[in-house]
Structures are given as C-alpha cells and as structure tokens.
Chain A
Amino acid sequence: MAESVMQLQDVHTRRDALALGLALGCCGSGAQAQTSPPARNLRPTAGDCLVRAVGVSESAEALRPDDVVSAGPQLLAWAKEPASGVVRDGSRLNQILLLRLDPETLDAETLARAANGVLAYSATCTHAQCPVTEWRQEAGILHCPCHGSEFDPRGGGRVVGGPALRRLPPLPLGLSAEGSLEVAQPFLGKVGGQVA
C-alpha cells in the first residue's frame, strides 16, 4: 500500500493547467498562457475583471451582473488581470464572493460599492480563514460553515454572529465598457483571519 508522492506533483501540474485554461476566455484576451507568480498572488486590483472560481471548464467568461443569481446565494470568483490573462488564484486570500441584491435594501455605503446591484466581499472568513460558502436565504445573511460566523452583506459585511471579530472586507465594483463586472478599488481593510 505504500505509495510515492509522485502523484501529488501530477495534481499540481493539472492545477496550473486549469489556471491556464482560465486565462483563455476572460475579458476578450486570449493571449499569455504564462502564469507569473507575483501577478497570481496579488490581491484583486482596480481594472481586473472577474471569473467564476467553481465549476470552471475551458471557457471562463468575464462575469456580468446577470451571471450572479438574484437574492443569493453567493458566487465565488477570482479576479483576472485583463492584459496578461493571469487569474489571481495564487493565494486563497484573493478569493471573492459575489451577491446580487435588491439595491433598495442596501445601506448607502454598500450601495455606493455595488454595480447594478452586485456586491463583492472577500470570501475569506475573518475568524480562521475558511471560505464563506453558506447563505441563509430568509435572513439574507452570509454564514461560514467552519465555526458559524455570520455577516450582513447589506450592511457592509459587518459581523452579526459567531466568533469573527471583523467585517468581511468589501471590494468596490464597477462596470467595464462592455458591461462586465470590474474591480473598482482594492479590498477595503485587512483580508483574512485573526492571528492566534
């Protein structure tokens, strides 16, 4: 039953291939298959477009407001640098969650960061860094499955339950000339969890 670790390297290679595949569809740029680590690791940057993080196959179109289901649940995404085609999936702290909510229900600051009702937050829980993947539909609250921290997306990502002590950092959005979602500003505040 003893096995070598060779298999693991295969998986790494496959993962990179996936990242390359991603590079082929977004923002109309099909060039640049090269993944430069610094660009991959960088946090979402103004001007980046967004691509789906889950269930990606060959084509990764730049996400448009209509791609995000209305009234939840959240959609996980990565930012992509349009010029190079590099998807910024080099650090899990770069992951983004997108929600489309009725603009009428958002507080003023949150509304100002939304693009056509689409909101973006860091997907990384500020407790111990699990991805915030659950959505409590009736309450309209983001829920982290790891230890139950809860965040209010309509109120700037503030903590409304569980062990987290800081809000989910918002990521202000805008729209590109073609009407796809675009990062307007970097994350507002420290991404990631508490230390110790």
Chain B
Amino acid sequence: MRNFKRMLMAGVAFAGLAGAPGPVQAEVKTYSPVTEQRLQNPEPRNWLMYRGTYDGQGYSPLDKINTSNVADLVPVWTLSTGVMEGHQSPPIVNDGVMFVTTPQAQVIAVDAKTGEQLWRYKRQLPEDLTQLHPTNRGVALLGDRVYVATVDDFLVALDAKTGKEIWAKEVEDYRKGHYMTLAPLVAHGKIMVGGSGGEYGIRGFVAAYDANTGEQAWRTYTIPKPGEPGSDTWTGDTWKTGGGSIWITGTYDPEQGTAYWGTGNAAPWMGNARPGDNLHTTSVLALDVDTGAIKAAHQYHHNDSWDWDEVDPPMLVDIQKDGRTIKGMVHPGRNGYLWTLERGEEGISFVSGVPFVRQNVFTSIDKKTGRPTYDEARKPGLNKLVDFCPSLWGGKDWPPAAYSPRTKMIYIPANENLCGSLSGKMMDYVPGQLYLGAGLEDIGLTLFPNADHVGELQAWDLSTNKKMWSHPFAKSQLWGPVLATGGDLVFMGGTNDRDFRAFDAKSGKVLWKQKTNSGVTGVPVSYEVDGVQYIAVQSGWGVDAQRMQDSLAKVSVDYRNEVPQGGVVWVFAVRKR
C-alpha cells in the first residue's frame, strides 16, 4: 500500500512536468559566441567546424599529445548515443562545449571535459521517410546558434545554450528523394548546404540561407538548365534528373570569398543514358558565397559511368613545386587519382593527376587540362557489362584525408585491390524512387588476384607526388576519416576490427590503438580544455562501410567480420603518471 502511494505520488510529480520540453536538461552556462573572425582563425584549443579549419586540412596544431606519450592515451569519458547506423560526425568543440550529431539528425551538447550531457535535440522525422544513407556529418556554429541539416531535408537553427529549435526551413521535398547528411558551411552571415539524392535522380544544388532569419539567399544548381553555360553537355531532358549531388561540406577561401564544393556522379549511372560531358557532375565548383555565382569549375572526369562521386571538396594547401608556391587544391578522388589543381586569378588550372590505387580506366591525362582519356572497354553502359578498377566505391570514398603542414604530407584512407563490374538498363524516372539504372544483377565486386589487403592508409608528399609510406589492412576495407596533429600523429579508425589508432605521421608506425564498441567511421578531432589536450571520435558502424562489408564477405572469407552497431562518443587523454 505504501509503495502504491509512493508510485502514485511519483506519477503526480511526473505529470506536473508534462509541459516541460522532454526530460530535464542542463543548460550551457557560459558560451563563447562564434564570430566569423573566429571561424577564419580558430583558436588551436577548439574544433569549430567539420574539418577544423576552412581549408579542410583536418589538422590540429595541438602537440601535448605527441609521439613520445601517445602510448599512454586512455579513455576519459564515453557517451552512448542510443542510435544505430553510421556515426560519422566530428565532435565539434567551442570552449569546452561539444556538439555531436547522430543519424536521424539528433544533436547532443556535452561538457567536453566531464562528459556531462547538457541538452539533446531529437528531430521528429516524417513517418514515411526513406533512408538510403542513415547518417549525419555534423553541425555548424555561428553566434550563439547551432545549425544542422536533416535527413528529411530541413535546415534547422538551434539555440546553442538550450538546444531549443529557433527555426526549421524546408530545403527541398524529401518525398522526391532529397535529403541532407552534410555539416553546413558558414560564411558572410550565410549558412550553406547542399542536397543529396543523386540515387533518386535529383538535380544537385548548393543553397545559402540567412543565418538570422533562415530566408534563402541563393540557390545554385550543379547542372545548368538549357541556355546556361555548360547546358550543351547534356542531351534532351537528361539534365533534369542528372544527379550531381552535394553531400560533403565545402572548403572556403576567405580572401577570395570563394567556397569550393565537390559534386557527385551523374544520374542514372550509365553514361550512355545521358550522352555528353554532363557538367558539373564529378567536378569541383568555385562559388561566390555572396551571390552563389559559379566563378570557376573543373571536372575531374566526364560522363561518369562508374558511380565515382567526387563530393569530397578539395583541400586548400600551399604547395612548394618547381621553385614556386602553388595555391593548391588537392583532391584524392574516388576515381583513384590524386588530383592537384591551382586556384589563381584566372580560375582553376590543372597541375597534376597521379593514380594512388590500381586504376585501369584512364589511359592518359591531358597535360594541360587534366582531362582523362578512357579505355572504352572499361566503361560500363546500357546492357554492357564490364570490369574496372577501382570498384564503384572508388579509391577513396567520402572519408576525408588530412594534411599536416609539419610533415607536408597528405594522409589518404584508401581502398586498394578492389575492382567491380557494372552494367545498366534504361528505367522510368519515378520521383522519390531509386533511379540508378542498374539492378542487383548488374553490380559486381571482385578482389584483384592475389591481393593481400584492401584498406590502406597512405602518406603522400604533395611537392613530389611520391608515396612516403603506407599501412595496409590485410582483413578489412577502410572507411576512416583522418586527423593529423601538431604532435606528429595521425589518428584513424575505419576498419572492421573496431580499432582506433594513432600513427607516427613521419614513419607510419602504429604507436597506439584502442578497441571500441563498434567500427569507427566518425571524423576524429582534437581540442583542449583547462590545459589538457583531448582526442575525440564517434564509433558507430553503418551505411556504406557496412554495405562494403556485406559485399566483401561474399567475395572472400578473410573479410568476414561481424561489426556491431550503436554509437558511442569516445574521448581520450594522456594518463597522468
């Protein structure tokens, strides 16, 4: 009876809270507003955006954790997200406050030092939403707001202190196959996002919204409509469903006011279903952040037929080459080539392109323009099944490479020795339905004969285009975003053994590793609070890492490995002696 009474009272107390927004949550007490000056010059202690800095290098200058003490790295706190599928977002840190996103567009604010949860935003998703890529790649910060792009295609502004929704703007209609997984890009008072959905035959675009009001400022399609420059690279109405998605955050050059965006493959998959070069798919676009005008563009490969998205934007790096400094744009491509371009007064010019994995499609690269010539026997087409390397997941998929200005090396998470076969058929376009133009029996995956590994972390010297070291993974593919630090360390997970590791940036030697709850496909970061340096990453396997796992397991018993799902935020520091 007494118990019953107590239960009743608890019930009453609970009912009294019913008007409160969800469970009781703490607030952020002190928050440092994020200014554009800070974004252009982030303090080394913070990680304020997707890749840490606008140039996309994925480099933290912090060096308290270094080659001499990394062996003593231990977890200091963890946080279970309670969400399944691919956890890919970097923990973004602003003066002791961490923001992580999870699949289903949830945002969690955490005390970066103690791991105490401050608030959590759960997006209410429509009941009939389809999720081909259940993931999210992080928040953007400006002022005292947090911005997140959602899988049901809204841009949402949250109060950084409370997690309360300030506004939510529909970017496009999810019912037609539009969705977003990228972290937004902030510049000049605008929040920029881009649309995924190339697999559904959308027409890709970058759109900018006013950071205050959420009003759309501009929208630039990656595919020109008839009459616009480049429209002659499409046949008939194919431009309307031509793909060219944007699904990774652009890089940004504040001096020029130019954002650089990588674009996805053309849709449907088979090139001869849409004759022409298909501008600006599989390209980099230089956009004026004030107007959205296309200042320049470069297409990595034309009339894509291999599903080789080139969505990862170029890293902006100064490179010493032939006695001069090049304002470089570096892109390790899904097409298996390491591309270096130069951004100059006259736009984008080609510098070099060298294969970093086995690639048997390009027969030559034009020395002036960088345009590849194809071996036509390796170009899939309608009812034409062919083999080619690398596979449709490419030499490197979306996981970002990192660059260390100390070693002058770029660290590429590559997949070597994987080839594929592909063919396609004409199909009807139905809004909101897959529009690949290739079915189950049209897609194959093979290992190169006698291949001794697939995943491979590679270090390249950008001045000489020489591979300096590489670390092969004998029994796993690699889906690990990379972090480089001032302590001459490189951090990366990405394998089916659930490990997260630190490598010596100069030699490639593994100096430390930690077995985690799941596979690590999250973007690792580093930050400092009260003089202590931390490394943070999310572990949570899913999406294409899982898809490739399923396919590889059918090809070879060596790659069979059950990777459990479920996200956890991990934070590490050096153990005090």
A residues sitting closer than 8 Å to B (CB atoms) are: 1-5, 8, 11-12, 15, 53-55, 91-93, 124, 128-131, 133-134, 136, 143, 145-148, 162-163, 192-194, 196
Complex interface residues of chain B between 117 and 137 (CB less than 8 A to chain A): 127-132, 134
Contact B434 A146 (CB under 8 A): yes
23 A-B pairs whose Cβ atoms sit less than 8 Å apart in the complex: A1-B294, A2-B219, A2-B293, A3-B220, A3-B221, A3-B225, A5-B216, A11-B176, A92-B175, A93-B127, A93-B128, A128-B132, A128-B134, A129-B131, A133-B433, A136-B440, A145-B439, A147-B546, A147-B547, A192-B127, A194-B84, A196-B84, A196-B103
Contact B172 A8 (CB under 8 A): yes
Distance in angstroms from A98 CB to nearest chain B CB is 16
Q: Any chain A CB within 8 A of the CB of B320?
A: no
Q: How far is the CA of A148 from the CA of B172 in the complex (A)?
A: 27
B residues sitting closer than 8 Å to A (CB atoms) are: 82-85, 103-104, 127-132, 134, 172-173, 175-176, 216, 218-221, 224-225, 228, 291-294, 428, 430-434, 436, 439-440, 546-547, 550
Contact B128 A145 (CB under 8 A): no
Contact A146 B293 (CB under 8 A): no
Q: Chain A residues near B128 (CB, 8 Å)?
A: 91-93, 124, 129, 192
Q: A3-B220, A130-B130 are in contact. List 8 more A-B contacts (CB 8 A).
A: A1-B228, A2-B293, A54-B430, A134-B440, A147-B546, A162-B550, A193-B131, A196-B103
Distance in angstroms from B484 CB to nearest chain A CB is 33
Question: Closest B-chain residue to A145, C-beta based?
Answer: B434
6 closest residue pairs by CB, A with B: A2-B218, A92-B128, A128-B131, A1-B220, A2-B292, A129-B130
Contact B130 A134 (CB under 8 A): no
- The dominant DSSP class at the B interface is loop
Distance in angstroms from A35 CB to nearest chain B CB is 15
Q: Chain A residues near B432 (CB, 8 Å)?
A: 92
Contact B434 A128 (CB under 8 A): no
Contact B439 A2 (CB under 8 A): no
Q: Chain A residues near B225 (CB, 8 Å)?
A: 3
Question: Closest B-chain residue to A129, C-beta based?
Answer: B130
Contact A146 B132 (CB under 8 A): yes
Q: How far is the CA of A128 from the CA of B547 in the complex (A)?
A: 14
Distance in angstroms from B276 CB to nearest chain A CB is 18
Q: How far is the CA of A130 from the CA of B432 in the complex (A)?
A: 9
Contact A148 B550 (CB under 8 A): yes
Q: Chain A residues near B428 (CB, 8 Å)?
A: 54-55
Contact B292 A8 (CB under 8 A): no
Partner of A128, one of B130, B430, B436: B130
Q: How far is the CA of A162 from the CA of B554 in the complex (A)?
A: 13
Contact A130 B434 (CB under 8 A): yes
Q: How far is the CA of A144 from the CA of B19 in the complex (A)?
A: 42
Distance in angstroms from B566 CB to nearest chain A CB is 10
Q: Chain A residues near B127 (CB, 8 Å)?
A: 91, 93, 192
Distance in angstroms from A196 CB to nearest chain B CB is 5
Q: How far is the CA of A4 from the CA of B216 in the complex (A)?
A: 9
Q: Chain A residues near B228 (CB, 8 Å)?
A: 1
Contact B291 A146 (CB under 8 A): no
Q: Chain B residues near A4 (CB, 8 Å)?
A: 219
Distance in angstroms from A125 CB to nearest chain B CB is 8
Q: Given known contacts A145-B436, A145-B440, is B293 in contact with A1 (CB within 8 Å)?
A: yes
Q: Given known contacts A1-B228, A3-B219, is B440 in contact with A196 (CB within 8 Å)?
A: no
Q: How far is the CA of A153 from the CA of B224 in the complex (A)?
A: 44
Contact B219 A5 (CB under 8 A): yes
Q: Chain B residues near A12 (CB, 8 Å)?
A: 173
Contact A8 B130 (CB under 8 A): no
Distance in angstroms from B365 CB to nearest chain A CB is 28
Contact B224 A196 (CB under 8 A): no
Contact A1 B129 (CB under 8 A): no
Contact B221 A143 (CB under 8 A): no
Contact B132 A130 (CB under 8 A): yes
Q: Given known contacts A5-B216, A55-B428, A145-B434, is B129 in contact with A129 (CB within 8 Å)?
A: yes
Distance in angstroms from A16 CB to nearest chain B CB is 13
Distance in angstroms from A10 CB to nearest chain B CB is 12
Q: Chain B residues near A146 (CB, 8 Å)?
A: 130, 132, 434
Distance in angstroms from A79 CB to nearest chain B CB is 15
Q: Chain B residues near A93 (CB, 8 Å)?
A: 127-128
Question: Closest B-chain residue to A124, C-beta based?
Answer: B128
Q: Chain B residues near A1 (CB, 8 Å)?
A: 220-221, 224, 228, 292-294
Q: How far is the CA of A18 from the CA of B84 in the complex (A)?
A: 38
Q: Chain B residues near A3 (CB, 8 Å)?
A: 219-221, 225
Distance in angstroms from A102 CB to nearest chain B CB is 23
Partner of A131, one of B131, B293, B433: B433
Distance in angstroms from B551 CB to nearest chain A CB is 9
Q: How far is the CA of A58 from the CA of B430 in the complex (A)?
A: 16
Distance in angstroms from B169 CB to nearest chain A CB is 11
Question: Closest B-chain residue to A94, C-beta based?
Answer: B128
Distance in angstroms from A47 CB to nearest chain B CB is 23
Q: Chain A residues near B130 (CB, 8 Å)?
A: 92, 128-131, 146
Q: How far is the CA of A128 from the CA of B430 in the complex (A)?
A: 19
Partner of B82, one of A136, A143, A196: A196
Question: Closest A-chain residue to B131, C-beta based?
Answer: A128
Q: Chain A residues near B291 (CB, 8 Å)?
A: 2
Distance in angstroms from B20 CB to nearest chain A CB is 23
Q: How far is the CA of A131 from the CA of B200 in the complex (A)?
A: 12
Q: Chain B residues near A148 (CB, 8 Å)?
A: 547, 550
Distance in angstroms from A69 CB to nearest chain B CB is 16
Q: How far is the CA of A136 from the CA of B224 in the complex (A)?
A: 38
Distance in angstroms from B213 CB to nearest chain A CB is 16
Q: How far is the CA of A14 from the CA of B123 in the complex (A)?
A: 30
Q: How far is the CA of A26 from the CA of B110 in the complex (A)?
A: 56
Residue of A1, A53, A147 contacting most chain B CB atoms (<10 Å):
A1
Q: How far is the CA of A157 from the CA of B480 in the complex (A)?
A: 36
Q: Chain A residues near B175 (CB, 8 Å)?
A: 92
Question: Closest B-chain residue to A137, C-beta based?
Answer: B441
Q: Chain B residues near A2 (CB, 8 Å)?
A: 218-220, 291-293
Q: How far is the CA of A196 from the CA of B433 in the complex (A)?
A: 22
Q: Chain B residues near A11 (CB, 8 Å)?
A: 176, 431
Question: Closest B-chain residue to A163, C-beta based?
Answer: B546
Q: How far is the CA of A136 from the CA of B440 in the complex (A)?
A: 8
Q: How far is the CA of A8 from the CA of B175 in the complex (A)?
A: 12
Question: Closest B-chain residue to A192, C-beta based?
Answer: B127
Q: Chain B residues near A91 (CB, 8 Å)?
A: 127-128
Question: Closest B-chain residue to A93, C-beta based?
Answer: B128
Q: Chain A residues near B104 (CB, 8 Å)?
A: 196
Q: How far is the CA of A54 from the CA of B216 in the complex (A)?
A: 34
Distance in angstroms from B40 CB to nearest chain A CB is 25
Partner of A143, one of B294, B431, B433, B440: B440
Q: Chain B residues near A54 (CB, 8 Å)?
A: 428, 430
